[in-house]
Amino acid sequence: EDQIIKRRTELLAMQAKRKQNAAARLESEVPDEDEDDEEDDIEAVLEEEFPKEEDEVEEEDEEQEGEAIERLKLEIAEKFETDLINIQTVQEELDKISIPQVTIGSKRKPRIVCYQLYKKLKDLVENRESLFEKCYPISVSLARKMIALSYKHPSNFGEWDPIKLNEGETIKSYQSPDTPTFPVIHRNSIYFFASKENRDKFMKNPIKYIRQPKPKPTMPVKIAIVGPPKSGKTTVAKKFASIYGLKRLSMGDAIRMILNDQPDTELALMLKWHLHKGLTAPDELAIQALDIALMDTVCSTAGFVIDGYPVTRKQINTLEYMKIIPVKIFEMQIDAKEVFRRALLDKQSPDRPPYPVHDSSQILAIKNSCYKTQIEEIRAYYEEQHQNWYMIDASHSKWWNWNKVLEETQMITKQIQLYLERIRQGKAASIADLCITPQELLSRLGEFGQYCPVSLAEKGELVDCSVTPSLRFAAEFRGHYYKMSGQEELDKFLKTPELYVPPLAPHPLPLPSKLPKKLTAAEVKALFPMQAEMQGYCPVTYLEGKQRYEALVPGDIEYAVLYCKKLYIFESEEKLQKFMRLPEKYWKQTLPHKLPPKKEPVLLTALPLTGYLEQGVATALIKAMNEVGCLKPKFPFLSVKKSALLFIAYHLKAFNPRSSDYVRKKYKRKLDRFIDNCELIPYLGTKMTKKYKEPQNRPIDFDHKLQTFLSLKGVDPATL
């Protein structure tokens, strides 16, 4: 092609030269035809000098399909053997430098192979930081011996399971000689695990778990579980005792412990005296026994679960006197039907004890009834005083109930640990779920009382948090309690409490005399003859309406506030709350000279006849006329007009709200009879034929209705 291009260039140059020579000729001369065809001849010259190669002749012998398949198979086999040899060589080199290999069968579909590959590489990718970490599982005896000889050291987690700690576990599991433990050596430390699964999980990525914070100091768990019989409270309490080593204490357990371990004490002798006489132990003696049982070392270290106590208000008072206050009380709620169903299943259980059990239907019914009568008062007391009551729908399975109670207990324990840690560091800490009584709250309130310091500092608003007794958004700082208006304000206070309390707080709380006080309607009436400011118009509505004439709306004494010895009433609760937050914004306003006319009540009897009817009977009359239009009644032998008027009269009497029940029922019966008589005409019109029918061929009630229709002739409907 280079030669063709070169030759074309030469021919074009020769053509250009001939054109220059032709330009020198006379313009009048006619150009030769050869000169016009030179440009077309260039391609012809090139084709003559460089002829195109002819297509190759088809091969005489074409390759058959079978031969092609055999050839491809041989090529693929040779390629496979070559690749296999190369892979084996690479594997040998990887084995020399101890790099693990992953083998995956690729006979299945591509998406399945990709999934298998992802599954194999998932652990390597997720645990990338621990690829070169080595862990060695050992026996418990060897672990103890290595620690005793200082060959290895216990980890920063001690006996805690790092996996459970990472999952949010806050209660340490019970360690006993029979409890299986799975130690692992990692670097110079020994870690202990509660299960093989946790141990294997740690060995895959130890760096992830040793970087987490150290476990917080162990807190004794102090909870109580109450509920009707067969609600599952004892099952949950026993599970706490077996898994976490808590002391399970029912009142019977506490009394038996005193009788068995301290038989010669005065308390034991008094208990025996009552029991030998067939009496129940008094609450005072029973709670003394419980108090002594709670002195056990297990109760002060691991904690305790009080099973089925308290169940009366007297028992609550005695517990309060003895300072026995559970951090959380769980109420297992089930209905009576579920109680008897579970009792029937227990009777059919093969694990039923051989001795008699007081679980007959009569005894269960009495127990359940006594529990229902007492539990409302107990619940109300703890919700008001300690806010430590938690209700659980125990109609679910025992595993669901256990998980629910455990979850809440873990959360409470974590909250207490966090509170102690932050207070120890001098930070602000939330006091929710700490069983703080209203009396203790009032005695330790800070400079802002029950007003939110965050809202006052950032917005200048007086947000009174005393409207709710909940301590969900309350915090402690420097020995004082502060209540916030919401979660956002609480988070800000916990982060930087110094900015919201003196001396850095931008706005101090006003004096008590300058704080707005909400009043009830009775308190407003007791202030007579004090008059409402702004002549009773709502100051908030007036200011938000840009002090226009239309914004002058009278207030309601149900929404009243006393501020700076002045009385203000508001249109609604929303407007009242706005004034309570920013009283300085709304209180100093002057009314215009022109005020709306006062709305004075007008007696109904003082209205003209048209207005009286509109205000008095319009609604009832519209309903009656609507019924007439729908039903279109026609009483036998009366005109349509008179029939309609009678229907309206009966309807007004039957649905008059001022009448007695007897009168309304009386006229409803009359209205129903009137409607039945009006339906005689359309009935007879459809059933009566031109030809005579024998009685046996007529409808059953035809003769009776015909006789009734004829008997109404000349009869006054009002007398029926």
Q: What is the mean pLDDT of the chain?
A: 87
Among candidate residues 219, 220, 224, 240, the one with its CA nearest the CA of residue 295: 220
| Strand-strand pairing, 556-563 and 566-570 | antiparallel
pLDDT at res. 458: 93
DSSP state of 66: H
Confidence tier at 33 by pLDDT (50, 70, 90): very low
Identify the CA nearest to 415 among candidates 378, 388, 382: 388
pLDDT greater than 50 at residue 59: no
Residue 586 gets which letter from DSSP? H
* Opening angle at CA 324, ends 323 and 326, nearest 5: 130
Inter-helix orientation angle 313-321/361-385, to 10° = 50
- 442 is written with which tokens? 């009032």
Give pLDDT tens digits for 241-293: 998 989 999 999 999 999 999 988 999 999 999 999 888 889 999 999 999 99
CA distances from 134 to 29, 125, 197, 202, 206 (A): 105, 17, 17, 11, 9
**Residue scoring higher pLDDT (695 or 315):** 315
Cα distances (Å, whole numbers) of residue 72 to 63, 606, 656: 12, 113, 102
30 — pLDDT class (breaks 50, 70, 90): very low
Q: E strands along 241-327, which residues?
A: 247-249, 303-307
Q: For residue 467, give both structure tokens.
A: 């409207």
Between 689 and 389, the more confident residue is 389
The CA distance from 559 to 576, in Å, is: 6
Q: What does the DSSP assignment read for 471-482?
A: -TTEEEETTEEE
Which candidate, 677, 625, 630, 631, places its Cα nearest to that of 649? 625
**Whether the predicted pLDDT of 9 surpasses 90:** no
Quick one: pLDDT band at residue 25, thresholds 50, 70, 90? low
Q: Are 305 and 406 in contact (CB under 8 A)?
A: no
Task: Quote the DSSP letter at residue 560.
Answer: E
Q: 462 with 581: CB under 8 angstroms?
A: yes
pLDDT digits (tens, 9 = 90+) for 345-375: 888 888 777 777 777 888 999 999 999 999 9
Exposed e or buried b per residue across 23-38, where buried means at least 16 C-beta atoms within 10 angstroms of its C-beta: eeeeeeeeeeeeeeee
| Residue 222, token pair as written in the block | 């102090």
Alpha-carbon distance of 154 to 272, in angstroms, equals 50
The model's pTM is 0.67
